Structure 1
Amino acid sequence: MAPLERRASLSLAAIFALRMLGLFLVLPVFALEAAKFPGGDDPARVGLAMGVYGLTQGLLQLPFGMASDRFGRKKVIVLGLLLFALGSLVAALADSLNGLVLGRSLQGAGAISAAVTALLADQTRDAVRTKAMALVGASIALVFAVSLGLAPWLVAQIGLAGLFGLTGCLALAGVAVVLWVVPPEPLQHTNQPRGRFTEELRAVLAHAGLLRLNFGVFVLHAVQLAMWMAVPALLVQAGLAKAQHWWVYLPAVLASFVVMGGGLLPLERRGYLRAVFLTAIGLIALVQIGLLLVVQAPQISSLATLLFLFFCGFNVLEASQPSLASRLAPAHLRGTALGVYNTLQSLGFFVGGLAGGTLLKHAGPQGLFAACGLAMLVWWLVAWPMQAPRKTA
């Protein structure tokens, strides 16, 4: 990477990390803490409160992405981070489950993923874009693992309200990074002749390669959130206290980074991205089958192995999917294309939280993992015809 590309990649990865750390800190403790609110004894309602963030994200990712094409990436990112901070404040002050739903909805309204990813694509060459996206994906996976270990200790110290207050502070720190650390955004995406919003959207939705990626990111994040409705309970059942879950999560994530760095990036350079991509989808499907088989008598060793394999597949897909989307989309429509992509990602979070809670309530963890495995198999079949785009300098 050139110095400017490295600065852009690291600073934009930091924005993602700050924002996602705020989200992930709540994830492992939300169900337990939300149970203390009126109505919190209903897993479906708790799943709605957890997943509604993804619904508002899904509704606003596309408008934010299209706005970034026309008005500039940084303005949209700052606006989104401020909305996220406002939602964190509302959730921190909530005294009912409905208040938590409202706060989470406002957090989701800060839909900046498309604008951030588009800005990263603007500032990196094709030849290094997957590496840049891998830095973003690695930062997200790392804060995910750290938050799963840190959250139980933090909630014991400052409570759920304090956690939401902390997420607001992290969002404001992200604003500072946008204004003073991220390199100035290039102007080439604003210099293209503009069509109507509907024409631009139609061009993106007619692209078969982008449609496959959009379907895939929906399934991936629905499965991610749904399975985490049950995984913490399995670790407890295996004899690992909640405060010690990081003993499994963090090594699994770090080891998966080694696999990604030693496997994905070299194989992509050799022209095997499609094979790696399909293998990663299949790997996550096999993990769901493995979880289904161990659910009756879970052991720490088997769960740790399965989570390591999950993060290997997940990190590969988190790095390669947005890179592919940015390369397939016309440069002047990147914000729109990534807006659609991130819309489906966010809707995946919403469906995963809601469906995960509902499946857990009515079908137990066996039904949950069976549904997740079936979803991954369908994605593998949809992704099979994919072709990796040629790189340019």
Structure 2
Amino acid sequence: MAASGLSSTEKKVAFSLAGVFGLRMMGLFMIMPVFALYGQHLQGFSPLWVGIAIGAYGLTQAMLQIPMGILSDRIGRKPVILGGLLLFAIGSVVAAMADSIYGVVLGRALQGMGAIAAAVLAMAADLSRDEQRTKVMAIIGMCIGLSFALSLLVGPIVAQHLGLSGLFALTAVLALCGMAIIQFVVPSPVGHAPKGDTLAAPARIMQMLKHPQLIRLDAGIFILHLVLTAVFVALPLDLVSAGLAKEQHWLLYFPAFVAAFILMVPLIIIGVKRKNAKGMFQLALLILLLALGLMALFSQSLVGLSIAVVLFFTGFNYLEASLPSLIAKFCPVGEKGTAMGVYSTSQFLGAFCGGLLGGGAYELLGASGVFTVGMGLVLLWLLLSFGMQNPVMLKSYTLSANVAGKAEAGEMAAQLSQLEGVAEAIVVLEEKVAYLKVDEHFDLRQARAVLGSVN
């Protein structure tokens, strides 16, 4: 019987990879709350170019996210992750040395070229047992959320004392620390986890784009990160106008993020207890709409903006935490890697478009115009959500399958599908693995008997 907890190796893998992911995401996020305020000395500074600089990483990240994951399957996880972190460090140095906003944009684009998310998650899967993989991924996911919260605290403080160049230099140091962790702390995988769970398959991307539930979620994460990036083009300038000195912005952002996290918890609990993920999802969208409306109406009121920021992060945190889980629940069995690849690409593309749209809207319509455009996009998302289904609560299993041919794989899949509690089953001959989605009535021992192997 498998151990119920993480082994010492799995703990080391989970926390070290979470640290690498967190350091990198902090490097990307720290610029968001400060660039519009501390980049005004740069040649070519304008709201449009502020937005492009904040979101530039998203375009290169979106373009390379899936290819870098596939490359890691061919040449190894560590070389791709180390190369990606090195690119990130180089981009940080380019941005730190820039005296024009165009140089910062180039640096941010280089940062995004270090698209290591898929490779890191695949490495986590390689180094963890199937029954513990969800815990490892959860630790990494929590660290990403924590890194965003810390970036709102650390970014303004670092920018105040070291300036924009110092902030970018710090992100280069963080990338080098991540490289050291990968090289000297994380074990080298001796095999690959099943690809269907971890990496995108280009041939099946169109299948994900045609899935009526997944396309709603992909559009949602695109809009969420578009709105987030656009908001941070305008919000820091509004806060200064409302009387909050730029050196004190962290005194609002960080407590607001913590308060929003506390407010988010009841939404999660109610959604799970009542099995009404859709209802809580739509409530979070309404909270986001309200927050953007307050930002548009009370742009000169520090109290109004503070309330809006708390509400914005409440809606954002809930949606950001819920969407990956919903992707996993709705994606076809054995296609999680492809579904998450499309999802991540949509997320980063949204960040780029948010910078572009936010900067353009600010120049044409001012800060209130940015928030109004954001409201329109969230309203569109709310309308899309009415076609969303409440997900069925299923667990996923990935089990080794001793199959010698296509006919045997088909017969094994048919037998697994007949077992009580099995909602979906597929056996992949090339990977020698069976993917199952099951409910609470599933008996793992019966599945193992069919597979003819002990997992």
Q: Could you state the TM-score of these two structures normalised by the residue count of structure 1?
A: 0.86
Q: Determine which of 84, 89, 93 is the counterpart of 1:89.
A: 93
Per the TM alignment, residue 127 of structure 1 is displaced from its structure 2 partner at its CA by 10
State the Cα deviation string for residues 205-244 of structure 1 (Å, max 9, x = none).
2322221111111100000010111211222222221111
Query: CA separation of 1:121/1:191 partners in 2, compared to 1, >3 Å: closer, same or farther?
Result: closer
CA contact (8 A) 1:65 1:115 kept: yes
Which residue number corresponds to residue 241 of structure 1? 245
Distance in 1, matches of 2:116 and 2:320, equals 16
Q: Determine which of 14, 24, 44 is the counterpart of 1:39.
A: 44
What amino acid does structure 2 have at the position aligned with 1:226?
A
Which residue number corresponds to residue 352 of structure 1? 354
Query: CA separation of 1:242/1:176 partners in 2, compared to 1, >3 Å: closer, same or farther?
Result: same
Which residue number corresponds to residue 378 of structure 2? 376
Which residue number corresponds to residue 14 of structure 1? 19
Distance in 2, matches of 1:261 and 1:181, equals 34
Structure 1 segment 57-68 matched on structure 2, within 5 A: 57-68=61-72
Structure 1 segment 18-33 matched on structure 2, within 5 A: 18-33=23-38
Which residue number corresponds to residue 344 of structure 2? 342
- The answer to whether structure 1 residue 299 and structure 2 residue 302 are counterparts is yes
Which residue number corresponds to residue 325 of structure 1? 327
Specify every segment of 5 or more residues in structure 1 that has no aligned partner in the other structure, as ranges.
Answer: none
What amino acid does structure 1 have at the position aligned with 2:19?
A
Distance in 2, matches of 1:218 and 1:309, equals 20
CA contact (8 A) 1:216 1:379 kept: yes
Distance in 2, matches of 1:365 and 1:271, equals 38
More helix by share: 1
The farther-off stretch of 112-121 and 337-346 is 112-121
Per the TM alignment, residue 366 of structure 1 is displaced from its structure 2 partner at its CA by 1.8
Q: Determine which of 45, 57, 60 is the counterpart of 1:56.
A: 60
Which residue number corresponds to residue 407 of structure 2? none
Query: CA separation of 1:94/1:389 partners in 2, compared to 1, >3 Å: closer, same or farther?
Result: farther
CA contact (8 A) 2:34 2:236 kept: no
Per the TM alignment, residue 358 of structure 1 is displaced from its structure 2 partner at its CA by 0.9
Per the TM alignment, residue 345 of structure 1 is displaced from its structure 2 partner at its CA by 0.8
Per the TM alignment, residue 319 of structure 1 is displaced from its structure 2 partner at its CA by 1.4
Identical residues among aligned pairs (%): 44
Which residue number corresponds to residue 282 of structure 1? 286
- The answer to whether structure 1 residue 3 and structure 2 residue 42 are counterparts is no
Query: CA separation of 1:331/1:95 partners in 2, compared to 1, >3 Å: closer, same or farther?
Result: farther
Distance in 2, matches of 1:65 and 1:382, equals 30
CA contact (8 A) 1:126 1:327 kept: no
CA contact (8 A) 1:225 1:352 kept: yes
* SS of alignment partner, residue 30 of structure 2: helix
Query: CA separation of 1:97/1:240 partners in 2, compared to 1, >3 Å: closer, same or farther?
Result: closer
Q: Larger relative contact order (C-alpha < 8 A, sep ≥ 6)?
A: 1
CA contact (8 A) 1:69 1:333 kept: no
Query: CA separation of 1:272/1:136 partners in 2, compared to 1, >3 Å: closer, same or farther?
Result: farther
Q: Determine which of 388, 395, 408 is the counterpart of 1:392.
A: 395
Distance in 2, matches of 1:128 and 1:304, equals 39
Per the TM alignment, residue 307 of structure 1 is displaced from its structure 2 partner at its CA by 1.3
Per the TM alignment, residue 256 of structure 1 is displaced from its structure 2 partner at its CA by 2.2
State the Cα deviation string for residues 292-318 of structure 1 (Å, max 9, x = none).
2212x3133x22222111111111111
Which residue number corresponds to residue 188 of structure 1? 193
Per the TM alignment, residue 61 of structure 1 is displaced from its structure 2 partner at its CA by 1.4
CA contact (8 A) 1:68 1:76 kept: yes
State the Cα deviation string for residues 125-164 of structure 1 (Å, max 9, x = none).
79995x8766555544443343334333323433322221
Distance in 1, matches of 2:365 and 2:24, equals 33
CA contact (8 A) 1:66 1:335 kept: no
Specify every segment of 5 or more residues in structure 2 that has no aligned partner in the other structure, as ranges.
Answer: 397-455
What amino acid does structure 2 have at the position aligned with 1:378?
L
Per the TM alignment, residue 270 of structure 1 is displaced from its structure 2 partner at its CA by 5.2
Distance in 2, matches of 1:389 and 1:71, equals 38
Query: CA separation of 1:389/1:177 partners in 2, compared to 1, >3 Å: closer, same or farther?
Result: farther
Which residue number corresponds to residue 363 of structure 1? 365
Which residue number corresponds to residue 215 of structure 1? 219
Distance in 1, matches of 2:211 and 2:264, equals 28
More strand by share: 2
Q: Determine which of 200, 206, 214 is the counterpart of 1:202.
A: 206
* SS of alignment partner, residue 48 of structure 1: helix
Q: Determine which of 93, 118, 141 is the counterpart of 1:114.
A: 118
Per the TM alignment, residue 106 of structure 1 is displaced from its structure 2 partner at its CA by 0.5
Per the TM alignment, residue 276 of structure 1 is displaced from its structure 2 partner at its CA by 2.0
The higher radius of gyration belongs to 2
* SS of alignment partner, residue 98 of structure 2: coil
The farther-off stretch of 227-236 and 153-162 is 153-162
Per the TM alignment, residue 265 of structure 1 is displaced from its structure 2 partner at its CA by 5.0
Per the TM alignment, residue 353 of structure 1 is displaced from its structure 2 partner at its CA by 0.8
Per the TM alignment, residue 71 of structure 1 is displaced from its structure 2 partner at its CA by 5.5
Query: CA separation of 1:282/1:198 partners in 2, compared to 1, >3 Å: closer, same or farther?
Result: same
What amino acid does structure 1 have at the position aligned with 2:374?
C
State the Cα deviation string for residues 33-70 of structure 1 (Å, max 9, x = none).
33222212x22123222221111111111222344566
CA contact (8 A) 1:37 1:96 kept: yes
The farther-off stretch of 143-152 and 132-141 is 132-141
CA RMSD of aligned residues (A): 3.1
Q: Determine which of 79, 82, 87 is the counterpart of 2:83.
A: 79
CA contact (8 A) 1:25 1:148 kept: yes
CA contact (8 A) 1:148 1:249 kept: yes
Distance in 2, matches of 1:191 and 1:145, equals 31
What amino acid does structure 2 have at the position aligned with 1:19?
R
